């Protein structure tokens, strides 16, 4: 038998439809679904936050650790430097500065070697002084009433006597008449020279001699009061002439 439900007015709200009691299973399912939705939202946020970061978080931790290590090293070095005594370096002794003027640039000049002069022997004159440097003690002319037929030239005994010109020895020895040891030289031109009173004769008869060659040594043999050379010029044997002008004509001044 069908139960009659109370008659509802159309203007009266259906409280049964709005205030229908919920089933217990349905309510539990809604709780589980809500919790799942909350979990899903939380995980999605974590995934989004993770995906939006380019560099991983350990990088920042690594940089921070490196900074801490460097700071620790600096602190350790500071401690070592503070504990180690610092020995000041010895300052170098300043050397005295020497101020010298810069030398002026020198111009290098290559000196040309002068050619050495050739040694040339001077030609011996045709006529020379028979005893150079001697003192004239007597000239040609009259003396004590007789003719002094030559020129007397004095130097210490033993002084060399030289040939007045080139020629041939025609006599060498004691010439008598007070001349003592004498040498006669024929010059081949008609003239002869005579060298008397020698202490020693150095040539022999027939010997060829040159002008200036030593033919003997001064002495005092014969009629002589002291060592000297009695020098004569003969134009032909025993034809004495004045030696002074003759020798001057040949470039030799005997001082008379």
Please provide the size of the chain in residues: 256
Q: Are the C-beta atoms of 210 and 216 separated by less than 8 Å?
A: no
Looking up tokens 């300043």 gives 94
Q: For residue 203, which of 159, 243, 171, 180 has the smallest C-alpha distance?
A: 171
All domains of the chain, ordered by start, with CATH?
135-249 (2.70.70.10)
Quick check: pTM over 0.85? no
Q: Are 96 and 133 in contact (CB under 8 A)?
A: no
Per-residue pLDDT of the chain (256 residues; tens, 9 = 90+): 444 444 444 444 443 444 454 455 556 666 656 666 666 555 444 444 444 444 454 444 445 566 666 766 665 555 555 555 555 555 555 555 545 555 566 666 666 666 776 766 677 789 999 999 999 999 999 988 899 999 999 999 999 999 999 999 999 999 888 999 999 999 999 999 999 999 999 999 999 999 999 999 999 999 999 999 999 999 999 999 999 999 999 999 999 9
Quickly count helices (H) and strands (E) in the chain.
Answer: 4, 13
Closest of 165, 163, 185, 181 to residue 173, by C-alpha: 181
Please, which residues bridge with residue 3 across strands? none
């Amino acid at each position: 038998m069908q139960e009659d439900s109370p008659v509802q007015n159309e203007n009266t709200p259906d409280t049964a439809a709005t205030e229908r009691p919920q089933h217990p299973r349905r309510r539990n399912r809604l709780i589980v679904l809500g919790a799942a939705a909350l979990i899903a939202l939380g995980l999605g946020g974590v995934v989004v936050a993770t995906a939006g970061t380019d560099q991983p978080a350990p990088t920042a931790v690594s940089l921070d650790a490196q900074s801490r290590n460097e700071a620790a090293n600096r602190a350790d070095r500071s401690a070592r430097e503070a504990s180690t005594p610092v020995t000041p370096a010895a300052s170098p002794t300043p050397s005295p500065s020497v101020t010298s003027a810069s030398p002026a640039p020198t111009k290098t000049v290559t000196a040309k070697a002068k050619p050495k002069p050739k040694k040339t022997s001077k030609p011996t004159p045709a006529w020379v002084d028979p005893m150079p440097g001697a003192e004239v003690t007597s000239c040609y002319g009259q003396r004590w009433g007789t003719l002094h037929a030559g020129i007397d030239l004095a130097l210490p005994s033993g002084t060399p006597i030289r040939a007045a010109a080139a020629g041939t020895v025609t006599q060498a020895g004691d010439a008598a008449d007070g001349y003592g040891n004498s040498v006669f030289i024929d010059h081949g031109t008609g003239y002869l020279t005579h060298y008397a009173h020698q202490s020693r004769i150095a040539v022999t008869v027939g010997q060829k001699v040159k002008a200036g060659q030593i033919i003997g040594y001064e002495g005092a043999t014969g009629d002589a009061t002291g060592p000297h050379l009695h020098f004569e010029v003969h134009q032909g044997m025993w034809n004495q002439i004045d030696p002074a002008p003759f020798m001057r004509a040949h470039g030799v001044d005997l001082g008379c």
